[in-house]
Each structure stands twice: as C-alpha cells, then as structure tokens.
Chains A and B, each alone.
Chain A
Amino acid sequence: MSEFYGYERSDGSIGIRNFVPIIATAPYANDTVKRAAEIVDDAIPITHPLGRCQTKPDVFQTYRTLLGYGTHPNTYGTVVVAHAGEIVDGDELADDIAETGRPSASVNIHREKGVMKGLEATVNTAQEMVQDASAMRREPFDISHLTFGINCATSDTTSGLCQHKATAGAAWRLIDQGGRAVFAETPEFFGGEDGLAARAVNDKLNQEILDRVENWDQRLRDTGYDVRGAQPTPDNMDGGLTTIEEKALGALVKSGDGPIQDIVDYGEKIPDGSGMYIMDTPGHGAESVTGIGAGGAHFMVISTGQGHTLSNAIMPTIKITGNPNSAERVPEETDIDVSDALVGDASIEWATDQLWDEVMEVANGKQTLSEVLGESQFAIHRIGPST
C-alpha cells in the first residue's frame, strides 16, 4: 500500500494542498478578488469574464466550474465575492460549497455598501480562513484517493513519441493502485476516435465518444473555415505537427491503451471509481485544464513538446517534456526532462519512473515550478452568446 500525506476534508476527499480560493461570480467582482488576494498571503484569486448576462447552458457551466473550485479536494475554504444580484448567485454558490463541510462565506459588494467595505469584508474573511487552514496538519492516506489530471500543451512530434508515454505510464500506475485519471480535449481525438471509442467499457460509451467527437467536428465545420491555425496551432506546426489528426493521434498516447470508464461534461465531477476518464472539453489548454480542475483532479501533468506556461492555481502542475531543445530553452517551465528517452539511451520505463517520483513528491507538498512562480490561468469554456 502506497501512501501520501494530505489534508482530510469532511466530505471524505483528501487534499494535497490546503488552499483558500477567493472566487468572483462576475467580472465586476474581479478587482475586489485580486486586491484581497494581494493582501491575504496564500489566498488564490479566481477571476473570469463570465457569470452575468449568460444564457442558461453557460450559466450552468460557469456555476458548475466555480462550485468545482470551491469544493475541490485541495480547497480548505472559500470566499465567494459577488458584485450585486447575478444569475450566477454568490449566496447560493457559498451555500453549496458549505454543504461539503468546508468553510465558506459570501460577500456581496452592493450589500456591503461599496467596493471598499466589500474589500474589507473579503480580506477579513479570507484572513481568518487562511490562518485556520495553516493550523491543519498533513496525515497519511492511501494513494487510491488521488485523481491524476492529464493535459498536453504546445505539442510537437516528440510528444506522442516520448513524454506522453511516460505520462500514460504514471497515470496507469496510479489507476493500478486504485486511483483515477482524467484527460480531455475532444477535438484532439480527431482521427483516433475509433481506437479510443473501442476502449470504452460498454457499447453506450463507445457510441457517446464517437458522437461527441462528431459534435465537435460539426461545430468547427459550421464556422465555414479551415480549423488549421487553431488546430494545430502555429507553435504546434513549428514543432513539426502538420494536421489535427497527427496532433490527435499523438495526444491520445498520453491516455495509454487501457479501458475508458466514462466521459463527463465540462467541469463535471470525476466519478469516484478507479480508472481512466475523459472530460469533454475543447483543446484550448487554459479551458481544458480549468475544466479538469473543477472535476477535482488533485494535480495536473502537462505533457509538453515546445514548453508552455499553462498551469492551474488549484492543481499543482507538473510539466514534462521529451524535447531536449525545449528543456534547454525554457528550464523554468520544465519540471521533468525525459529527453534521454527520446534522443539518448534511456527507456520509457525510466521516464515513467522520473514522473512518478515527482508526482509522489508533489502530492506530499513539494511545490512545482509554476507554483513557485505563482503562474496560473483560469478560463471557463463558453458555449453560446452573451445576452
């Protein structure tokens, strides 16, 4: 039995961090959130341009994503900051977070009578939560509690040949010990969907994977333009990737070849059962990783070709590359360099060991390079128009 040292939550989940997010429900609360997080050390600002004047599918998606951050295993407690009355309701969000037993508070700038009093209320509440969080101690838990997030970033042709194999190896090592893993980016299944669907645990899921891929291809065809440039991106093409199919066939390597348990919607909670899951997201990394964070993955392995700043605030983000040029060019974005398995004499098994050891250290509290630099993005995928 392998263990890690984590923080126990009253809903039974175990965190590898003890964060206090301050969440804006709409852009008009963003500055209050950012200012409060500058004052309160260790509070995490979650800001975005959504949450107001959205149609219902987007309201549900925004709400579900924000709730996912408030109830994330790595979240100790949350301060929700609303500007006024919003369709993404701050009081409701704070109440839903509190239902998981986590400390939760709602600040409404209008109710507080303006931004200064709103800021004061936010700071005072977050200050108390951060101090209470710091009094908790890590305890040992079985690693089967962990969910392994997987995403690629600025893929190139090395990705599918090397670092994605190590990523899959480490993810399946966790699954084999009772844990779970999740990958996403549905447009990056194009051309490999038949092989992926064949890994589904039942016929219904097999068909659902094919339907979701076709749905994305239809959305892209409906634009009336060739998707090249958006997929693959200019930096993908610089790295040798020619078409979305080539990018996708490489991207799928990071999920290994074992069975797929289920596919969930954007930002939906990852089921409790052990195994490999898919989240249906765009290939845009900031959006897919934000969705996976809401789904409750404890940490994120970003398997990159050309190097990338892509990181997440709630999930420690470990970046691995097998491209020796990238590892040399952007060392501050390279937690793990496994290029010896591509251009040297090392094996993929060795590369997998390097990543696995880092994952376990990060689970126990070691900060990743992006955590140390305070680098992160937050971008909820939007479905339809604002109104």
Chain B
Amino acid sequence: MGDSHIIVVDSTDNLATAVRTVDAGETVTVDIGGTERTITVGDDIPFGHKIALTDIDEGETVYKYGKSIGYASEPIAAGDWVHVHNVESNYGRGDQAAEQTADG
C-alpha cells in the first residue's frame, strides 16, 4: 500500500508531494493511479515539498495535476527533491523576453 503522506495527484505526473518530512536515503512506496512504485529518496524533503518519480532530463516538462508546471533547468534523478533549484517556469518570463529583444 502506498504511503498516504506522499501524494501523486495525477498518474501522468513525474513528481509526488510529501505531506510529511522525508529523510534522504528513505525508501518510500507511492501510489500512482493504483500502481505502486518504490523510490529511494535522494535528498531531505521538507513538509509539502516534492520528490521526482522518474529521471527528468534538462529541458523536459515537469508534470503535476497532469499538467506542465515548468521545465527541468538541470537533470533531475528519480528520488531527487524537485524545487526552484532545478525547475523553471514558462510564464511571466520577462527576463527571457528581454534576452530575445537584446539578441534580436
């Protein structure tokens, strides 16, 4: 049975949300739309933070609620903490718009 405190919202998501603290090195079982998967967690995960369910290449889409929440800004391994250090947004990117203007 999956850990009820590690929640996968949609079965197509490549991350889970922990509603407890999880220690680096802990092995957890998550329920992904009725299928169980066991993952060894690579980092300490604070309450409410996210764990990668699969390896995610740099530039690849990060999914939660079955939808894109951005893209990996560096390679992410299954079990890694997923947060602002390795995921970037596709919205409100005035910085990228400014760079394109400068390049153009």
Chain A residues lying within 8 Å of B67, measured Cβ to Cβ, are: 191-192, 195, 245, 249
Chain B residues lying within 8 Å of A352, measured Cβ to Cβ, are: none
Bound form: Cα–Cα A342–B47 in Å: 12
Chain A residues lying within 8 Å of B98, measured Cβ to Cβ, are: 224-225
- Which of A221, A237, A246, A325 lies in contact with B69, CB distance below 8 A? A246
Contact (Cβ within 8 A) A240 B92 = no
Cβ of B19 within 8 Å of any chain A Cβ, yes or no, is yes
Knowing A158-B19, A249-B67, A342-B19 are in contact, say whether A243-B46 is a contact too (CB < 8 A): no
With both beta carbons as reference points, the residue of chain A lying nearest to B102 in the complex is identified as A224
Contact (Cβ within 8 A) B68 A221 = no
- Which of B9, B20, B50 lies in contact with A240, CB distance below 8 A? B50
Chain B residues lying within 8 Å of A239, measured Cβ to Cβ, are: 48
Query: How distant is B1 from chain A, measured CB to nearest CB, in Å?
Result: 14
Bound form: Cα–Cα A246–B91 in Å: 11
User: Which segment, of A35-43, A226-234, A292-300, faces chain B?
Assistant: A226-234
Query: How distant is A83 from chain B, measured CB to nearest CB, in Å?
Result: 37
Query: How distant is A71 from chain B, measured CB to nearest CB, in Å?
Result: 35
Cβ of A343 within 8 Å of any chain B Cβ, yes or no, is yes
Query: How distant is B93 from chain A, measured CB to nearest CB, in Å?
Result: 6
Contact (Cβ within 8 A) B97 A221 = yes
Cβ of A84 within 8 Å of any chain B Cβ, yes or no, is no
Cβ of A217 within 8 Å of any chain B Cβ, yes or no, is yes
Contact (Cβ within 8 A) A161 B17 = yes
Knowing A221-B97, A240-B83, A242-B87 are in contact, say whether A158-B48 is a contact too (CB < 8 A): yes
Query: How distant is B40 from chain A, measured CB to nearest CB, in Å?
Result: 20
Knowing A243-B69, A246-B70 are in contact, say whether A226-B47 is a contact too (CB < 8 A): no
Residue among A161, A190, A226, A246 with max Cβ neighbours from chain B (10 Å): A246
Bound form: Cα–Cα A325–B18 in Å: 14
Knowing A221-B92, A245-B89 are in contact, say whether A160-B65 is a contact too (CB < 8 A): yes
Bound form: Cα–Cα A239–B65 in Å: 17
Bound form: Cα–Cα A42–B49 in Å: 43
